[in-house]
Structure 1
Amino acid sequence: MRELIELDVKGHRLWGTYHAPAPARRGAVGFLFLNPGHVPRSGHGGLSARAADGLAAQGFPCFRVDLPGLGDSDGTLPDTTAELYQFVCGGGFVEVAQAVREELVKRHGLKGLVVGGLCGAATTSLYLADRNPEGIAGVFMFEPEFYLSEQEAAATGGEEAKPEAEPATWRSRLPLRRVTSKLFSYWGWMRMLTRENEYARLFRYVPFPRQLVLDLLMDWGSLPAVANVPLVRAWQRLVERGLPVLVITAEGKLRDIYFDRIHRSAFSDLKLPMVERLRLRGTNHIFTTGGAIDACVGHLARWAAEHFREERAGVAVPQPHVAELHGVAR
């Protein structure tokens, strides 16, 4: 059952949808879906709505909430999409998202929330789990973006990223490799080799050593100049805490390959059993082709049952083995 909800937090009146499970199946851990970029809370192709319906059927209380200025919620947004993107990259929605989490947990008597979503929702959720970990049971990230906007990257001139301002939380013990790569040589080639710019079509019919060039370009041991270093640091701390995390990307696309580079720079060859990494073949960034939405919803439901099912009836359920990062491609 879906129910319209209203939240007054931080001077904002926000609107959302509550997916209520059957009372007999209701669990103590819920799921919170945030806006993917500037898209309303239903998500591209109804991804968030369909995922929440599926999880509610398993007994998980689910919430989709429009942040200020997005969807049905009032608020002021920047004049351009690029400015909004940078606002999200810098964690601009985290304070409001934290207030939403607190209100939902209190209102529905939950032990905690699993937070996440697509693209910008993954960014906000990662920052939230790092800066305000209390009450965060897990994080799910679909097509996460660990890079700055192309506009800001261009402003750096390809030079090293600025040191990030550390939030009031413990710093990761793991070093980050040096920042390298000039913007044009890296970013332009990446977009072409992942077939996400206008030049990519030139190589559909012309023999081209795509994988060889990509391997040479990636420089797996270092971060590129376009890296969102504060977000990478947050990723290190989150993973070191051992929080359950699900990462799903479109195989072979920009964010899929970029995430691999970020992760290898942040963790080298460490084995991370609480991180599950899945790749969806034959789809796009918003999962609207190749049956990816159904696959994504199914993987999320299975992951939720594996990690949070015991919270439903108060009976411990043995945790099954979770695939190591880079170990699964479905």
Structure 2
Amino acid sequence: MRELIQLEVKGHTLWGTYHPATAAKPSRVGFLFLNPGHVPRSGHGGLSARAADALAAQGFPCFRVDLPGLGDSDGPLPETTAELYQFVCGGGFVEVAQAVHAELLKRHGLKGLVLGGLCGAATTSLYLADRAPEGIEGVFMFEPEFYLSEQEAAGAGGEAPPEETGKATLRSRLPLRRVTSKLFSYWGWMRMLTRENEYARLFRYVPFPRQFLLDLLMDWGTLPAVANVPLVRAWQRVVERGVPVLVITAEGKLRDVFFDRIHRAAFADLKVATLERLRLRGTNHIFTTGGAIDACIGHLSRWAGEHFVEGAAPVAGMPQVAELHGAR
């Protein structure tokens, strides 16, 4: 069962979908799905809608809300998608998402919400979990992007952006090491080696030391010049606080490889007990091939049952990074 909902927040009228929990005793923890990039709240291939249905069947109230200008919600939009991506990278939707979060908690009497979604939804959710953690029980991030838009990085001359200068309470204790590699040499090789540009076709049938070159390119202990440093800092702080986080990526693709480098640079050898990291084989960025949508929903449902069911025993001995291969 689904219900259309309307939210009046920060001068915006937003539209969303409410999936009431179908269990006899609903959980006081709900799930909130935000827009994946500029895509409506249903998500690519219905990922968000189907995932919310599955979680509601487990007893979790679920919500999918269109942010201003996206889906059914009115609001200003930039002229190009590149500008929208820069807006999301900088946390432009965080203030509205925070107001949505507060309104849903109040309206439904919930203890907290688990936030997330694909791509841009993961970015906004991570920023929000860092800046306003009260009432945020966890974060799920599908194909998160920890890099700047290529246009913004180019405008910075290929250099990593300056770190934010917030209050001392917002600083992570962990160091970040950065390099200032040339943007286009690094970015071009990354896109080719993860088979995400036009030149990758040339090497499909030709022997090519892809992994060797990838290892050579990736200085695993440092951040690349195109890293979104404020988002990486938010990542450090959220994980340091022990917030349960689920990360799912498409194995071998750009965001998968980039996340590995970001995570290693941000945490080095620190064990992260509350992070679960999964890779789905044989799929794309939006999980629409290889049965990945079903696999993603299955992993999310299991993770939700392990962490957010009241009275459930905590998961003991979870490794720093749990890697499961195969989308089926």
TM-score computed with the length of structure 2 as normaliser = 0.97
Q: Distance in 2 between matches of 1:30 and 1:254?
A: 31
Question: Which of 316, 320, 327 matches 2:322?
Answer: 327
1:326, distance to aligned residue in structure 2 (A)? 3.3
1:123, distance to aligned residue in structure 2 (A)? 0.1
Using the TM superposition, name which of 158-167 and 177-186 deviates more.
158-167
1:168, distance to aligned residue in structure 2 (A)? 7.6
**CA contact 2:153–2:159 (8 Å) conserved in 1:** no
Q: Distance in 1 between matches of 2:317 and 2:73?
A: 37
Q: Which amino acid aligns with 1:327?
A: A
Question: What does residue range 242-281 of structure 1 map to in structure 2 within 5 Å?
Answer: 242-281=242-281
Q: Distance in 2 between matches of 1:86 and 1:190?
A: 20
**CA contact 1:21–1:57 (8 Å) conserved in 2:** yes
Number of residue pairs matched by the alignment: 325
Other-structure match for 1:287: 287
Instruction: Kindly indicate whether residue 131 of structure 2 is the aligned counterpart of residue 136 of structure 1.
Output: no
Q: Distance in 2 between matches of 1:73 and 1:82?
A: 20
Say what the alpha-carbon RMSD is for the aligned residues. Answer: 1.2
Other-structure match for 1:237: 237
Q: Distance in 2 between matches of 1:22 and 1:197?
A: 44
**CA contact 2:160–2:227 (8 Å) conserved in 1:** no
Unaligned runs of 5+ in 1: 311-315
Instruction: Kindly indicate whether residue 293 of structure 2 is the aligned counterpart of residue 298 of structure 1.
Output: no
1:184, distance to aligned residue in structure 2 (A)? 1.4
1:327, distance to aligned residue in structure 2 (A)? 3.4
Other-structure match for 2:172: 172
Deviation string 1:90-132 (CA, Å, 9 cap, x unpaired) is: 0000000000000000000000000000000000000000000
Q: Distance in 1 between matches of 2:168 and 2:125?
A: 17
**CA contact 1:131–1:169 (8 Å) conserved in 2:** no
Q: Distance in 2 between matches of 1:85 and 1:61?
A: 29
Unaligned runs of 5+ in 2: none
Q: Distance in 2 between matches of 1:116 and 1:184?
A: 31
Other-structure match for 1:125: 125
Aligned CA distance change for structure 1 residues 169 and 95 (closer, same or farther; 3 Å): farther
Aligned CA distance change for structure 1 residues 4 and 244 (closer, same or farther; 3 Å): same
Other-structure match for 2:147: 147
Q: Which amino acid aligns with 1:51?
A: A
Aligned CA distance change for structure 1 residues 18 and 168 (closer, same or farther; 3 Å): farther
1:169, distance to aligned residue in structure 2 (A)? 4.2
